[in-house]
Structure 1
């Protein structure tokens, strides 16, 4: 299967490498392939330049967002950051039409001045926008009415999403939400191939609000465990 991964950051790279390991063909999308390949410095998270990753994974094709989406034969994973996702995906609506789009972004706003800041080891906690009465997942679906949007992966670090057994032998829970049953099943099938055995369908895409808002709790748990960046832990729904 040819799967498109939109984005070249650390999370996207986790999916790219795992999909290749599982035998899929992977087309990677970026805003400007030339600019992406020209970078020689790590990004803000310390992730090495993508050209280094590309050299280690010669089977990857790097293309513009729209070309990558068009090359997939049904499944697209969006690793585009939450601040830019709606705009970037709206620009390639035709190439995404009829396809399943799994979105795992959190709609963080990093440059803000809250009245009561939450100090973190790396600055202040970003705020969520939208929050409570809307979600990024829903915004993407409204912008892409011909695309089947599924919200998933968002409650875990992507390194754990692609390797659930690295935490507690895999005994934790992953969530999916969306309006299309077949699209959600595609996400479930992918998660199963990653090694997940406990996948909870939260129902319609409105549940993306809860998944996105969980991001703050995820950070709080990580801080409580002494993990300043990311979080090597899982959550389990006991029922």
Structure 2
């Protein structure tokens, strides 16, 4: 994907990650359609979300190149690429509900299948409470679940090993000298995602193979958090595969 070629791209989700992608894609000259469950409800919110992001209506006013639509309409508007920023617990159900709009397209999934506030025998305390639990884990992954649920969609797991603000601006860390990963069953789909990452500024993209490698990327979330706690929460960092 050339950063100068204008295409229509959908971003599903209005959280901080979705906002980062939508803003960057608009900056690169793309026509961006953001999907949400309920447009009226999203625009009616007047308080910051749980992560402190300003109400979406305020954010949208500052980004005139972005349109807000229901999930299905946003996905249908995309030429080729749809970015999934729906929370992991609800992703399969939400995406299955718009399967027709996603058919034949490349779905970039960066969701982590977290269960929040889990009842655990040995909880991991964090600055905001107990560390969420991954479900599925080990023997399955959210990436695989999405691909099985949507056989007509070309799912690529990527972006998940990094904060999304850094995904869209890799040079903010170490001049961009760190590694991003892709995994999926369709080579052309992975190529399209790699081209998008290149437009974002990534120079080191490692293909991990089939969608089963989603397991490794999703399970890395715990290590990512541990590093973040050690550095100080909010400190940007990257991971480099040296070879």
TM-score (norm 1): 0.98
Q: SS of the residue aligned with 2:242? A: coil
Cα offset, 1:231, TM superposition: 4.7
| DSSP-derived class of the 1:220 partner | helix
CA–CA distance in structure 2, aligned partners of residues 100 and 231 of structure 1 = 31
CA contact (8 A) 2:115 2:133 kept: yes
Distance 2:216 2:65 in 1: 37
Among 122, 125, 128, the alignment partner of 1:122 is 128
Q: Which residue of 2 aligns with 1:236?
A: 240
Aligned counterparts of 2:34 and 2:98: Cα–Cα separation in 1: 14
Task: Tell me the distance in 2 between the aligned counterparts of 1:9 and 1:231.
Answer: 19
1:57 aligns to 2:56 (yes or no): no
1:189 matched to which residue of 2?
195
Could you say what secondary structure the match of 1:29 adopts?
strand
**How far, CA to CA, are the matches of 1:49 and 1:187 in structure 2?**
29
| Displaced runs of 4 or more, over 6 A | none
Matched, 1:40 2:46: yes
Q: What's the counterpart of residue 78 of structure 2?
A: 72
Could you tell me how far apart the structure 2 residues matched to 1:204 and 1:99 are? 17
The answer to whether the aligner puts 1:9 opposite 2:15 as a matched pair is yes
| CA-CA distance at 1:59 after TM superposition | 1.8
| Pairing 1:140–2:123 present | no
Secondary structure class of the residue paired with 1:13: helix
Aligned ranges for residues 145-160 of structure 1 at < 5 Å?
145-160=151-166
Match status 1:200 vs 2:201: no
Q: Secondary structure at the match of 1:41?
A: coil
**Alpha-carbon contact 1:218-1:231 (below 8 Å) kept:** no
Aligned residues: 237
3-state SS of paired residue (1:83): helix
Kindly indicate whether the alpha-carbon contact (under 8 Å) linking 1:30 and 1:63 is maintained by their aligned counterparts in 2: yes
Deviations 1:140-198 (A, max 9, x none): 00110000000000000000000000000000000000000000001000000000000
CA distance, structure 2, for counterparts of residue 121 and residue 61 of structure 1: 35
TM-score, normalised to structure 2's length? Answer: 0.97
